[in-house]
Amino acid sequence: MNNLSREPSVDIPVLELPRAVVARLEETELALLRRPKLLRQFANCYPNTLQTTTKRMSDGTTFVITGDIPAMWLRDSVEQMFPYVELAGQDEELKGLIAGLIRRHVECILIDPYANAFNEEANGRHWDANDRCDIPVPDEVWERKYELDSLCFSVRLAYHYWKASGDAAFMDTSFSQAMRAIVRLFATEQRHDEASTYRFMRSCGPAMDTLANGVGTPTGYTGMIWSAFRPSDDACEYHYNIPGNMMAVVALGQMRELAVAYGESPEMLAEISRLELSVEEAIQRYGKVEHPEFGTIYAYETDGLGNYCLMDDAGTPGLLSIPYFGYASADDPVYLNTRRFALSGHNRFFFKGKFASGIGSPHTPDGYIWHMALSMQGLTSTDPAEMRLMLDWLESTDAETGFMHEGFHADDPHQYTRPWFAWSNSLFSQLVMRAIDEGIIAP
165 in a domain, yes or no? Answer: yes
Instruction: For 186-233, give the DSSP string.
Output: HHHHHTHHHH----EE-SSS-GGGS-GGGT-S-----SSPP-SB-TTS
Asked, for residue 261, whether it belongs to a domain, the answer is yes
Instruction: Note whether residue 340 is domain-resident.
Output: yes
At 2 the pLDDT is 38
How far apart CA 203 and CA 210 sit, in angstroms, is 8
In a domain, 271, yes or no: yes
C-alpha–C-alpha distance, residues 82 and 77, integer Å: 8
Model pTM?
0.96
Cα-trace Rg, the chain: 21
Partners of 357 in the β-ladder: 352
CA distance 66 to 315: 14
d(CA 223, CA 196): 15
Whole-number Å distance between alpha carbons of 205 and 202: 8
| Cα 206 to Cα 365: distance, rounded to the nearest angstrom | 13
Crossing angle for the helix pair 173-190 and 266-286, nearest 10 degrees? 40
In a domain, 208, yes or no: yes
Q: Which of 94, 125, 122, 98 is nearest to 108 (CA)?
A: 122
Domain count, the chain: 1
pLDDT in tens, the chain (443 residues): 333 333 334 567 778 899 999 999 999 999 999 999 999 999 999 999 999 999 999 999 999 999 888 899 999 999 999 999 999 999 999 999 999 999 999 999 999 999 999 999 999 999 999 999 999 999 999 999 999 999 999 999 999 999 999 999 999 999 999 999 999 999 999 999 999 999 999 998 888 999 999 999 999 999 999 999 999 999 999 999 999 999 999 999 999 999 999 999 999 999 999 999 999 999 999 999 999 999 999 999 999 999 999 999 999 999 999 999 999 999 999 999 999 999 999 999 999 999 999 999 999 999 999 999 999 999 999 999 999 999 999 999 999 999 999 999 999 999 999 999 999 999 999 999 999 999 998 76
Looking at residue 187, which CATH number applies to its domain?
A: 1.50.10.10
Measured in residues, the chain has a length of 443
Q: Give domain status of residue 384, yes or no.
A: yes
Helix, strand, coil percentages, rounded to 5, for the chain: 45, 10, 40
Query: Residue 3 falls within a domain, yes or no?
Result: no
Range(s) of the domain holding residue 163: 19-437
Residue 214 region, left (φ>0) first, then alpha (ψ -120 to 50), else beta? Answer: left
**Other Cβ atoms closer than 10 A to 392:** 14
Q: Is residue 442 part of a domain?
A: no
